[in-house]
Amino acid sequence: MTLLWLRFAVLLYGIAALAVLPAALYERPRWRHIAVPATIAAIFFHFVSLAETLNAAHHRLPVETHELQSFLALLLALAFLTVYARYRSVSLGIFVLPIVFLLATLAAFRPGEETFSTPIRNGWIFLHIVLLLAAYAALVVSLMASLLYLIQERRLKRKPSNRRWLATLDTPLETIDQIALKSLLFGLPCMTAGLLIGSVIAQADYGAKYFSDPKILLTFGLWIAYVAMIFIRRLSGLRGRRAVYLSSFVILVVLFVWAANQFSAVHRFSTP
């Protein structure tokens, strides 16, 4: 039952990590009514699991590695709730909740414990791949839209004499910018969910060494760059040439992530 409570807490942490994205980044405050209660429920089941674990091990403080991981995840989740209670802000959860999810996953799916059956596991791998590919596609669309924004901006400044040609090709700059931004906003939840699913699957097979794999490190670096790009675009209204440069940088990180497959022990598998 101890692992059952913790795995249920992991599920709730995953829901909270996804729900906090629209609440913090997409100006959808109602999503916090999912993220915060899910975190509170996860902390409750997490505490029950940790208490039972320590009681079964006959010590009051965490000693084993998985106990320390679980305890650290619980502290981080409590820190997120403390900040929310004080400032009514869920922005910290963008970074804290995925870390909590990963630490709790490390404790919940330890080497030697029960893992997924083959059909279910293959289905989750397929979903993991599809979600990440959707995120990459959204990033490419955003880059193309940013390039189109730059081209259209230059054409409008030059004011060509052939106004009929301009009218047939012109798209409002605001529309192009919205396409670029909304593509990013669509891709971030896909990337986050794909990473969370992949972490659960790989943890069951590889244990803690999964998080030292070069492919994994680069992928989490890509996720951080993705979040930073959305923050920069939302806060500074970045457009035109600078938006192209920023999107191109993240695309370059994507290429490094794909190249890291050659050095990864986790991702050397055939695509289903």
List CB contacts of 76: < 8 A, sequence separation 6 or more: 96, 99, 100, 103
Please, which pLDDT band fits residue 2 given cuts at 50, 70 and 90? Answer: confident
38-75 pLDDT, tens per residue? 999 999 999 999 998 888 888 777 777 778 888 889 99
- The radius of gyration computed from the CA coordinates of the chain, to the nearest angstrom, equals 22
Kind and range of the H or E run holding 212: none
Place of tokens 């505490």: 47
- How much is the pLDDT for 106? 82
| Contact by Cβ (8 Å): 154, 169 | no
Whether the pLDDT of residue 153 is over 50: the answer is: yes
CA 200 to each of CA 101, 125, 142, 204: distance values in angstroms, whole numbers, following the listed order: 9, 10, 29, 6
- So what's the pLDDT on residue 9? 94
pLDDT of 246 over the 70 cut: yes
- Tell me the CA end-to-end span of the chain in Å, nearest whole number: 34
pLDDT tens-place string over residues 78-123: 999 998 998 888 888 888 898 899 888 888 876 444 444 444 456 7
Confidence of residue 167 (pLDDT cuts 50, 70, 90): very low
Q: Is the pLDDT of residue 28 over 60?
A: yes
- Looking at mean pLDDT, say which of 88-97, 152-161, 210-219 comes out highest: 88-97
CA angle (99 as vertex; 97, 102 as ends), nearest 5: 110
Whole-number Cα distances in Å, 70 to 64, 66, 105, 205, 218: 10, 6, 9, 19, 24
Taking residues 127-155, report their average pLDDT. Answer: 79
DSSP 178-208: HHHHHHHHHHHHHHHHHHHHHHHHHHHHHGG
Enumerate residues 6+ apart whose C-beta is below 8 A from 10: 42, 101, 104, 105, 108, 200
**pLDDT for the residue numbered 270:** 44
The CA-based dihedral angle spanning residues 187, 190, 191, 196, taken in that order and rounded to the nearest 10 degrees: 160
For residues 106 and 208, is the Cβ–Cβ distance under 8 A?
A: yes
The pLDDT of residue 43 is 95
Mean pLDDT of the chain: 77
pLDDT of residue 260: 64
pLDDT of residue 122: 64
pLDDT at residue number 258: 67
* CA angle (262 as vertex; 261, 265 as ends), nearest 5: 70
Q: Residue 262's pLDDT is what?
A: 58
Q: How confident is the model at residue 77 (pLDDT cuts 50, 70, 90)?
A: very high
Measured CA to CA, the distance from residue 18 to residue 193 in angstroms comes to 7
Q: What pTM was estimated for this model as a whole?
A: 0.63
Report the share of the chain in percent with pLDDT over 90: 16
More confident residue, 11 or 25: 11
b/e map 63-79, b = 16+ CB within 10 Å: eeebbebbbbbbebbee
pLDDT at 247: 74
Q: Identify the H or E element spanning 176.
A: helix 173-206
250 in helix, strand or coil? helix
| Of 230 and 43, the one with more pLDDT | 43
Higher pLDDT, 119 or 138: 138
